[in-house]
Amino acid sequence: MTTNQTHTIAPVLPVPATAARLTALVGALATLGSTFLAWTWTAEFPGDLTVTGYPGGLQVLTLTGALLTALFALAGHGVRGLGWLVPGGKNSPVRLLALGTFTTTWYAVLAITVELGGLVNLEPGGWIAAVASLVTLVGALGLPADVPAENPGPASGWQRFTHAFKAPAPGKAAPLPSWAEILIIAAAFGIGLFIFTYGIDTEYAELFIGFLLLIGFGAPAVARAGLNRRLGALTATHKNVTVTAAFVAAFAFPFTQSNDAYATIGANILIFATVALGLNVVVGLAGLLDLGYVAFLGVGAYTAALFSGSPSSTIGIQLPFWAAVLAGAAASLIFGVVIGAPTLRLHGDYLAIVTLGFGEIFRIAMQNMDGASGPDITNGPNGIPNIPDLELFGFNFGEPHNVLGVELGRFSNYYLLMLFFTIIVVTVFRRSDQSRIGRAWVAIREDETAARAMGINAFRLKLLAFALGATLAGMAGTVQAHVTFTVTPAQYKFVEAVPPNSAFLLAAVILGGMGTVSGPLIGAALLYLIPAKLQFMSDYQLLLFGIALILLMRFRPEGLIADRRKQLEFHETGQLDAPKGDIGLSKAGV
Amino acid sequence: MTTDTVTPAGTGTPVLHASGVTMRFGGLTAVRNVELTVNSGEIVGLIGPNGAGKTTFFNCLTGLYIPTEGTVSYKGKVLPHRSHLVTQAGIARTFQNIRLFANMTVLENVLVGRHTRTKEGLWSALLRGPGFKKAERESEARAMELLEFTGLAAKRDHLARNLPYGEQRKLEIARALASEPGLLLLDEPTAGMNPQETRATEELVFAIRDQGIAVLVIEHDMRFIFNLCDRVACLVQGEKLVEGTAEVVQGDERVVAAYLGTPFEDAPGAEEVAEVEAAEAHATDRAPGPDSTTGATGTTSTTGPEGDPK
Amino acid sequence: MNDLPQQLANGLLLGALYGLIAIGYTMVYGIVQLINFAHGEIFMIGGFGALTAYLWLPAGTSLLFALPLMILMAMACSVLVAMGAERFAYRPLRGAPRLAPLITAIGLSIALQQAIWAFYPDATKSRPFPEFEGGRIDLGAFAIGRGDLFLVIAAPLCMIALGFFVSKTRTGRAMQATSQDPDTAKLMGINTDRIIVTAFAIGAAFAAIAAIAHGVKYGEVNFKMGFIAGLKAFTAAVLGGIGNIYGAMIGGLVLGLAEALATAYIENIPGMSQLGGGAWKDVWAFVLLILVLLLRPQGLLGQRVADRA
C-alpha cells in the first residue's frame, strides 16, 4: 500500500527552511534570555517574577521550554553530537516545543495582566518573552514537514498545520554497550521522577497550569522525535533493569519531599493508581465494565477498620495487619463472586449496571448500619474514626522516622507501604496478562463466541477476572483505611470531586490507556493532581470531568498510552504492521 | 423422509455421530431429524443450497445451539451442550465469517487454541514456577509447529487483523488444530478464495486428514468438495436429502434439482433464507427453543413461520 | 396489616413512575443495544424544564392551568437534550467497541447533572415544585395524594399512545423491525438514523412526563434525582425484559410493588426487623434485580438474553 510518488507539502508558513530555522533558534535564545529579566514589578503575582538575573516560577518553565526548543532546533539542523535527540521527526518536535513554550509564556503574561489588572503591570522582560516566543513559533511553523504528504494536490491551511506535526518512526538504533543502555534507562526514570515531583510540588495554580501546558506539548514532542520508541526498545531488552529502575524511582519519591503535605498527595495518588490498576485487570484485560469498583475498596477498608482496634469499631477484635489484609481481600472476593456470578453469564451491559447499583447499595447499606435504621455495625454516616496507625515489626507508621538523614513523615511511611501493594498489583497484572489466563481474557474481550469455541469457559474466566479485581481492590482498601484515619460511606460514591471513586477510577484507566501498566498510573496521577491543584475551579470540576470523558471517547478512545492492540481496535487503520521480531513492544506498555 | 444413511465400507470407527438432530427457532425448523456419522480418517462434505441449515447444523454439533431434539456423540460419548466442553472433548471448528481474535498476534491466536490442552491456572501464572515456564515453552513450540504447518510461521508477531484474507482462513484452521481435535469442522474454508488458494486449502485438508484427524467440511464449491471428500451429504431445507460417495451425490437428480433451481417440493426462496438467518440471529446459545414435541419429520417442508421470533 | 391496599396503591404509583422512565431505556436499548446512562439526567432535566415554565407564569397561577405549558416545556427540554446527546455524543461512536458509548454515557450523565447544579439558579439544593392544593383523596380502602392523580391519568394515556404508535404507524413498525434486526432493516430501506433519534425522543418525552409526575408527587426537584431514578428504571426495564416496551411498564409496576411492600413489611419478618423501612428500600430493589438476573435473566416478558451468536 505504499505509493511510489512522494508529495511534498508546503510548511504552514512559506519561509525558506534555513531562514525559518534561524528565526526559531534566535527566537528561542531570546525567549531564554528574557526569563532572566523581570516580567512584572510586584511580587504579588505568585512566584516572584520581579528579580532580574534569576528566573522564578513560570519563568523557569519558559526557560526549560526555550532551552529544549533551541536544542532540538540545533539537533534537527544536524549539529554534531545532538543527532541522538532526533532519531524520528526532525522538525515536528521543534514545532511542538515552540508551541508549548509559546503557550506557557503567553499564559504567564496573560495571567500577570489579568490578575494584576492591566498591561501596565508587565515589565519589558514580559514583553520580550511574549514577542520572542511568538517569533520562535513563527520560525518553527516555517520549517518543512517531516513526512511527505499522502495525497497529492494543494492542502488547506488546517491540513498543512496538522500535517506539520506528523513524524516518521525512528529506525533501528545502533547497539550501545549494555552499561550505557542501563544508564539511559536510569536517567529516563530519574527525569520522570523529577517531572512528577515538580508537578506535585507546584505551590500555586498558575504554576501547575503552566506545567501542564509545557508537559502537554513537550511529551508529544519527545514522542515525535522518536525518543519514546528508542527508550521502549531499550526497556524491552532490559526488562528487569526497567522494573528495578521504576521501583527505585517510586521508592525515592518520599526522600525528595521535605514537606509531608506533598507526601500525602503522593500516598493518595498511589492508592488511587493501585486501585485503578486493579480495575485495569477487569476492564483492560477482560473487557468487563465495572462501575462500582470503589465499593470493593470500601469493603476492604471497612473490614480493616472493623478489625483495626479502633475504639469506635463495633467489633472488639483487633487483628494483626496481615490478617486484616487477608480478611479485607477475602470479604471483597466474596462480594465480587456474589455480584459477578449472576451477572457475568449475561450480556456485558448488565454487569455495568449491576455494578453501578452495587456501588450505590454498598454506600447506602454502610450508611444505614448505625443502630437506628439498621443493625449497629458501621456507625452510619459518621463512619469508623480513629483508626490506629499501623505498627509493623516495631516500625510505627504514624511517627516520623529518620532514614538516611531524611525525615520521613507519616504519609511518607504509608506511601512506602502502599508502594509494596502497588508492586504486588503490578506483578499480578503483568503476570496474569502474559499467561494462558490473560490470553483467554483478551480472547473473550475480542470475540466471546470464538473464545468459547476454542474451549474457553468464558463465564468462569470472566468471574475469575472480576473476582481478582475485587480482591486487589479489597487489599488496597485495607491500607487506605489506615492512611485516612477514618472510613465513612461518603468516601465511596460513584462520582465526587475527590478520587478515588468509581467514575474517576474508570476514567484513570481509560485516560491512561486500557490494558497497560503505565497508563492507569499516569491517568491516576493526572486525575488526582488536576483537581487538587486547581482548587479555584472546584465548582466546575465534575462538569469538566464529564465533558472530558465524552471528548476522550470521541477523539482519543485508546487513552494517552495506547496498548497497541487497543489502538488498532479503536482506529480502523488496518495498515499498521507489527514490528518484526520485536514482541516486547507489541505487548502492553513499558 | 429420506434419511438413508450410507455406512461407509471399511473405514475406521465412528468419531462423530449425530442422531435425529432437529433445531427449531420459534416456529421455524432450520434442521430436521438429521443423521450423520463421520468415521476416523474420513473427510466428509456437507453441501446444500443457501439457507439449507448447514451452519445451523454445525452450531448444533459444536454446542453453540442446543438442538431441540436429537443427540450428538463424539467417540461414543454424548456431547454436552456447552461450546467449550465440546472443544475440550475433541471437536474443533472454524467459522463461516472468520472469527479471529483480531487484535492479538498470530502466535497468540494459536496459543488461545491451546487453552483446553494446558491447565496452568492463575496461581501458576502468578507464581511462575518451573512448571509454568515449561508449559508455556511447550505451548509455544506446539503453536509454532502449527504455524509452520500452515505456512504462517514468518508472521507470528503480526496482528491477526493485518493478515490477508487467505491467511486469516489458514490461521483459523491452525488455531482450531491447536486444540488437538479428533474431528475438525470447517465452515466454508474456501469462501472468497481464488483457485490457487483453494487448491492450497485442499492440500492442507488432506494433510490434516493424514495426521489422523477426521474432517467435516461445509462448502459451496462442488469441485472442491468432490475432489476432497470420501463421502458427501446434501442438506436441503434442513433435511438430509442424500448421502454417499461423490459419484452417488453428483448423480442424484434431487441434488441437481435443488441446486439448479427446479423446485424440489418447495425450494427455499430468498425470504426463507432471510427468515432462517433472522431466527438464528435471535437464537441464543443458552435459551433453548420451546421444546415442542410434535413430530419432526412428517410436516410439510414449507414452514411458514407466522410466529414472530420476538 | 390492614394497610395492605394502601401499600399496594403506593407501590403501583411508584411503579408507574419507574415504568415511564424505563420506556426510554428499553426503547433505546432495543434499537442500539446501548444503556443510555444519561437517561436519568434527561428525566431530571425535564423536571427543571417544567419548573422553569411554571416560574415564567405570574406567581399564584393555578397548577392545573400551568400544567399544559409545563408539560410542553419539560418535553421540549428533555427531547432536545436527548436528541443532542444522540447526535453529538453517541452517533459518532456507532461501530466503536461497546465500551466507548457506555463511557460516553457516563460522562454525559455527570456533565448534565453538574451543568444543572452549576448553572440553574439555586439548584445546588432541592427546588420546591408546585403542588396541587388540598389533602389526600380518600378512596375507601386507601388514599392517594392529589399529585398522584397526574400519574394515574398520564401513565395509562402514555402507554396507550405508545402502543398505538408502535403497532399502527409506519415509523413505529419500522422501529420494531429495527430493534429486531438492524442490518436487515437497513437493507429494507428503513432510515435507521431517524429511527434511533425517534427512539431517543420518545424515551425523553416519557421521562419528561415522569419528571412532572415526580415533581407534583414529592413537591420538589433536585439535580441528583436522576441517578437513583435512572438506576431503578433500568432495573424495571430488565425486570420486564429489556427491549420490550410493555415489559418496561410491567417491570416498573412490579418493582414499585416490591419496594413498597419491602418498606412496609420486611421488618415484620423475624430476624430482619432492622432491615425494613425507607432506608433500605433501594437495597431491596437491588436485591430483586440480582434475583431476577439469577432466576429469569430474560425478564418477565422478554425473550432476548445474550448477544446475537
pLDDT higher than 90, residue C4: no
Identify which of B179, B248, B245 has the alpha carbon closest to the alpha carbon of residue B42.
B245
Chain A contact for C143, CB < 8 A? Answer: no
A431 to B139: CB separation less than 8 angstroms, yes or no: no
**Do residues B273 and B151 share a domain?**
no
Which residues of chain C have a CB within 8 Å of the CB of B287? 298, 303, 305-306
What pLDDT, on the 0 to 100 scale, is given for residue A441?
92
Where does a domain end: B125, B160, B179? B179
Contact across the interface for A350 and C275, Cβ inside 8 Å? no
A111-115, A375-379, A458-462: least confident range: A375-379
Does residue A381 contact residue A488 with C-beta atoms inside 8 Å?
A: yes
| DSSP 8-state secondary structure symbol assigned to residue A144 | P
The reply to whether residue B115 touches residue A455, judged by beta carbons under 8 angstroms, is yes
Residue A474 has a pLDDT of 93
Specify whether B221 is located in the same domain as B82: yes
Q: Do C181 and B284 touch (CB under 8 A)?
A: no
Query: In this structure, are B259 and B125 located in the same domain?
Result: no
Residue C100 in contact with partner chain A when CB distance is under 8 A? yes
- Triad A294, A295, A296: Cα angle to 5°: 90
C-alpha cell at C11: 407501590
3-class DSSP state of A45: coil
Any idea which of A185-194, A195-204, A400-409 has the lowest mean pLDDT? A400-409
Residue C253's pLDDT is 93
Q: String of b and e for C258-287 (b: at least 16 CB within 10 Å)?
A: bbbbbbbebeeeeeeebbbbebbbbbbbbe
pLDDT of residue B131: 85
Q: Is the dihedral of CA C93, C95, C97, C99 positive or negative?
A: positive
Nearest CA in chain B to C179: B310
Closest CA of chain B from C306, distance in Å: 6
Q: Are C259 and C281 in contact (CB under 8 A)?
A: yes
Q: How many CA atoms lie within 13 A of B104 on its CB side?
A: 28
Tell me which chain A residues have a C-beta less than 8 angstroms from the C-beta of C304.
Answer: none
Chain A from 454 to 483: CB within 8 A of any B CB: 454-458, 464, 468
Neighbours of chain A (3+ CB pairs under 8 A): B, C
Q: Which residues, at least 6 apart from C66, have a Cβ–Cβ distance to it below 8 Å?
A: C53, C54, C57, C130
Look at residue B302 and tell me if it is in a domain.
no
Mean pLDDT over all residues of chain A? 81
pLDDT tens-digit map of C240-299: 888 888 889 999 999 999 988 888 887 777 667 777 777 788 888 888 888 887 787 777
Domain assignment present for B14: yes
What is the predicted pLDDT for the residue at C83?
A: 93
Q: Is residue B307 part of a domain?
A: no
Can you give the pLDDT at residue C205? Answer: 94
Distance from CA of B310 to the nearest CA of C (A): 7
| Mean pLDDT, range A59-73, rounded to an integer | 87
Contact A7/B at CB under 8 A: no
| Subunits in contact with chain B (3 or more CB pairs closer than 8 Å) | A, C
Give residue B300's pLDDT band: very low, low, confident or very high (50, 70, 90): very low
Instruction: Give the pLDDT mean for A34-51.
Output: 79
Other Cβ atoms less than 10 A from the Cβ of A4: the count is 4
What's the rounded mean pLDDT across residues A544-562?
A: 83
pLDDT one-digit tens code per residue, B174-196: 999 998 899 999 998 888 888 88
For residue B173, the chain A residue with the least C-alpha distance is A454
Does B166 reside within a domain? yes
Q: Is residue A487 scored above 80 in pLDDT?
A: yes
Is residue A569 very low, low, confident or very high in pLDDT (cuts 50, 70, 90)? very low
Of A452, A464, A575, which is closest to B84 when you measure between CB atoms? A452
Give yes or no for C294 touching A (CB within 8 A): yes
Q: Which of the residue ranges A148-157, A226-235, A576-585, B268-277 has the most confident prediction, judged by mean pLDDT?
A: A226-235
Do B276 and B140 share a structural domain?
A: no
**CA quadruple A468, A473, A477, A480: dihedral, nearest 10:** 140
Q: Report strand pairing: C143-144 vs C137-138.
A: antiparallel
Contact at CB, A349 and C33, closer than 8 angstroms: yes
Chain C residues close to B99, C-beta within 8 Å: none
Which residue carries 491466536 as its cell? Answer: B109
| CATH fold for the domain made of A257-586 | ABC transporter involved in vitamin B12 uptake, BtuC (1.10.3470)
Q: Report residue C303's pLDDT band, with 50, 70 and 90 as the boundaries.
A: low
Write out pLDDT tens, residues C145-181: 888 888 889 999 999 999 899 888 888 888 887 777 7
Region of residue C219 (left: phi > 0; alpha: psi -120 to 50; beta: else) = left
Q: Any alpha helices (H) in A238-371, and if so which ranges? A: 239-252, 260-280, 293-306, 321-343, 348-368
3-state SS track over A342-372:
HHCCCCHHHHHHHHHHHHHHHHHHHHHCECC
Phi-psi region of C241 (alpha: psi -120 to 50; beta: other; left: phi over 0): left
| Same-domain check for residues B82 and B191 | yes
Q: Which residue has the higher pLDDT, B126 or C256?
A: C256
Q: Is residue B23 domain-shared with residue B141, that is, in the same domain? A: no
| Residue numbers of the domain that contains B52 | 1-90+181-285
C32 touches chain A (CB under 8 A): no
**Contact state of A557 with C98 under an 8 Å Cβ cutoff:** no
Q: Which residue of A has its CA nearest to C94?
A: A554
d(CA A509, CA A494): 15
Which of C103, C110, C293 minimises the CB distance to A343? C293
* Cβ pairs bridging B and C (under 8 Å): 34
**Same domain flag for B82 and B121:** no
B121 touches chain A (CB under 8 A): yes
* Per-residue pLDDT band at A239 (split at 50, 70, 90): confident
Q: What is the CATH number of the domain that holds B35?
A: 3.40.50.300
pLDDT surpasses 60 at A574: no
- Residue C222 forms contact with A (CB below 8 Å): no
Q: Is pLDDT at A265 greater than 60 in this prediction?
A: yes
- How many Å lie between the alpha carbon of B128 and the closest alpha carbon of chain A? 8
C282 and A360 within 8 Å at the Cβ level: the answer is: yes
Q: How confident is the model at residue B282 (pLDDT cuts 50, 70, 90)?
A: low
Measure the CA–CA gap between A353 and A371, rounded to whole angstroms: 30
What is the CB-side half-sphere exposure of residue C38 using CA atoms within 13 A? 33
- In this prediction, residue A475 has a pLDDT band, given cuts at 50, 70 and 90, of very high
Q: How far is A103 from chain B (nearest CA, A)?
A: 38
Q: Are residues B110 and B146 in the same domain?
A: yes
Query: Residue A445: closest CA among chain B residues belongs to which residue?
Result: B101
Per-residue pLDDT band at A80 (split at 50, 70, 90): confident
The full set of domain ranges for chain A reads 17-181+204-222, 257-586
Confidence at residue A472, expressed as pLDDT on a 0 to 100 scale: 93
Mean pLDDT over the full length of chain B: 79
pLDDT given for residue A500 in this prediction: 81
Which of A52-66, B3-17, C80-94, C140-154 has the lowest average pLDDT?
Answer: B3-17
List, for residues C84-115, the tens digit of each pLDDT value: 999 988 888 887 777 888 889 989 999 999 99
Assess if residue B290 is contained within a domain: no
Maximum mean pLDDT: which of A268-272, B301-305, C207-211 = C207-211
Complete domains list, chain C, with CATH: 4-295 (1.10.3470)
Record the cell numbers describing residue A132, joined without a space: 520572542
The pLDDT score that the predictor gives to residue A588 is 31
C-chain residue closest to A452, CA distance = C309
Give me the pLDDT at residue A4, please. 47
Whether residue C275 and residue A374 make contact (CB cut-off 8 A), yes or no, is: yes
Check residue C90 and report its DSSP letter. I
C188 touches chain B (CB under 8 A): no
Q: Report the distance separating Cα A586 and Cα A571, nearest Å.
A: 16
Kindly report the nearest CA distance between residue C169 and chain A, in angstroms.
31
B64 → closest Cβ in C176, C184, C309: C309
How many Cα atoms sit within 13 Å of B74 on the Cβ side?
Answer: 21
Minimum mean pLDDT range among A349-353, A397-401, A461-465, C135-139:
A397-401
Check whether residue B61 and residue B196 sit in a common domain.
Answer: yes
Share of chain B above pLDDT 90, in %: 16
The pLDDT assigned to B277 comes to 58
Whether the CB-CB separation of A50 and A41 falls below 8 Å is answered with yes
C residues 223-262 closer than 8 Å to A (CB) = 227-228, 231, 234-235, 238
Judgement on whether residues B209 and B279 belong to the same structural domain of the protein: yes
- Record: contact A565-B104, CB cut-off 8 A: yes
C235 vs C244: CA distance, rounded Å = 13
Q: Does C120 touch chain A (CB under 8 A)?
A: no
Interface test with A, best of C18, C37, C99 (most A CBs within 10 A): C99
Closest CA to A76 of A148, A138, A9, A143: A143
Are B64 and A446 an interchain contact pair (Cβ–Cβ within 8 Å)? Answer: no
pLDDT of residue B288 exceeding 70: no
Look up the pTM and report it. Answer: 0.82
Contacts with C241 from chain B: Cβ below 8 Å: none
Cα C209 off chain centre by: 9
| Angstrom distance (rounded) from CA A45 to CA A111 | 9
User: Residue C221 forms beta bridges with which residues?
Assistant: C127
Residue A448 corresponds to which amino acid?
E
Q: What is the pLDDT of residue A492?
A: 85
Q: Contacts of residue B283 in chain C, CB cutoff 8 Å?
A: 309
Average pLDDT over residues A480-507: 84
- Give the distance, in angstroms, between the CA of residue C214 and the centroid of all CA atoms in the same chain: 10
pLDDT of residue B297: 34
Burial (0-12, 13-18, 19+ Cβ within 10 Å), A127: middle
Instruction: Tell if the CB–CB gap between A557 and C280 is shorter than 8 Å.
Output: no
pLDDT category at B3 given cuts 50, 70, 90 is very low
Contact at CB, C102 and A360, closer than 8 angstroms = no
**Residues B116, A569: C-beta atoms closer than 8 Å:** no
Ramachandran sector of residue B180 (left: φ over 0; alpha: ψ -120 to 50; beta: rest): left
pLDDT of residue C82: 94
What Cα–Cα distance (Å) separates residue C80 from each residue in A553, C24, C91? 22, 14, 15
**Overall number of domains in chain B:** 2
Give yes or no: residues B127 and B258 share one domain.
no
Residue C225 pLDDT greater than 80, yes or no:
yes
**Contacting residues of C for A354, CB less than 8 Å apart:** 289-290, 293
Rg of chain C over Cα atoms, rounded to whole angstroms, equals 19
Min Cα separation C181/chain B (Å): 7
- Which chain A residues are closer than 8 Å to B135 by Cβ? 436
Confirm or reject contact between A583 and chain B (CB < 8 A). yes
The closest of A281, A284, A318, A282 to A303, measured between CA atoms, is: A318
Tell me the average pLDDT of chain C: 85
- Is residue B187 located within the same domain as residue B279? yes
pLDDT (0 to 100) of residue A473: 92
Rounded Cα–Cα distance for residues A361 and A377 (Å): 16
Within 8 A by CB and 6+ apart from A531, the residues are A497, A498, A499, A538, A541
Q: For residue C85, what is the DSSP state?
A: I
Domain ends where: B123, B158, B179? B179
Eight-state DSSP code of residue A384: B
